[in-house]
Chain A
Amino acid sequence: MPLSQDEQNKYRDLYIKTAKEYVAQLHEDLKQLASGNETSDLIASIHRGAHSLRGQSDMMGYTSIKELTSFLEKIFDAKKISKMPFSEEVLRTFEKSVKAMDECIASIETTGKESDIEQVIEDLQKYSKLVDYKSI
C-alpha cells in the first residue's frame, strides 16, 4: 500500500533526492543510446533505473511517474534480448518521458503533487504495446 500522508511527508525529501539521481542517470543513458553507443550494460542501467524509480514512486503514491517508469522498465526488459533498434521517434518519446519525470519531481518539490503528464504517458504506452513481451 502507498505510505500514509504522514509517512509521505516524512520521506518526501529522500524520495526527491533519489528520484533526481535516477532521472539524471536516465538522461545520461538515453543520450548515450541516441549517440549509437548501445551496450548490454547501458540497456541494463536504463532498465534498473526505471525499475527502481517505479518501485519507490509506487510506494510514495506518485502514480504518473510510476506509470511512465513501468512502461520504460517493460520496454528495456524486452530490449535486453531483442535486437530490434529504436527509431529516432521512439528515442524522442523516451527523452520526453524522462523530461516529464523531471517536471513531476519539480512539482512534487514545490506543491507536493505531480504535474499533469497524461499525454506523455499515452505516447509511451502506445509504443510499449508494440513490444513483444511474450518472448521475455
Chain B
Amino acid sequence: MKILLVEDDTFFREFYAKKLKESSLEVETATNGEEGLEKLKTFTPDIILLDIIMPKKDGFDVLTEMGKLQLIQKIPVLVFSTLGQEKDVERARQLGARGYINKSFFDYDKLYSRIVELAKR
C-alpha cells in the first residue's frame, strides 16, 4: 500500500513515516502542500495523510486543487489534525476529505486500520 504523507512538521513527518514504513507500507513525504501536489504528478498513492496548517499551499489548497483535477474522488484523504481543529476538519470534509486522525494522540492501530479501510473502498 502506498501512502503520501504531507506534513510540514519535521517531528510528525519523521515519526509517522518511520512507523508506517515499519508496517511495510510504501511512504512518500512532502513538506508542504505545493510539494505534495507536485508529488502527485509522478506518484499515485492509495491514501493521502494531509496536514492542514502548512506554509506555501495549505491542506485546504491541496484539497481544492485535487477537486479541480478530479483526484479527490480517486484518492482518499485523511486529515492529519490536532485537538481544537474541529472547524478545519469540517471545512476539509466539505472539500472532500474522508475523515481525520488526531496526530498528537498516537494510536497506531487505529491509524493503520483507518488506512486499510479507506484504501479498500
Contact = CB atoms under 8 A, between A and B. Distances in A.
Contact of B14 (A2, A7, A14, A73): A14
A107 interface: no
Contacts of B53: 47-48, 51-52
Contacts of A54: 82
A136 B106 CA distance: 28
B106 A52 contact: no
A58 B104 contact: yes
Contacts of A73: 84
Interface residues of A, number: 24
Contacts, number: 54
| Interface SS of A by simple majority | helix
B94 interface: no
Contact of B10 (A2, A3, A18): A18
B11 A1 contact: no
Nearest to A54: B82
Interface of A: 1-3, 7, 11, 14-15, 17-19, 21, 45, 47-48, 51-52, 54-56, 58-59, 70, 73, 136
Interface of B: 8-12, 14-15, 53-55, 82-84, 87, 103-107
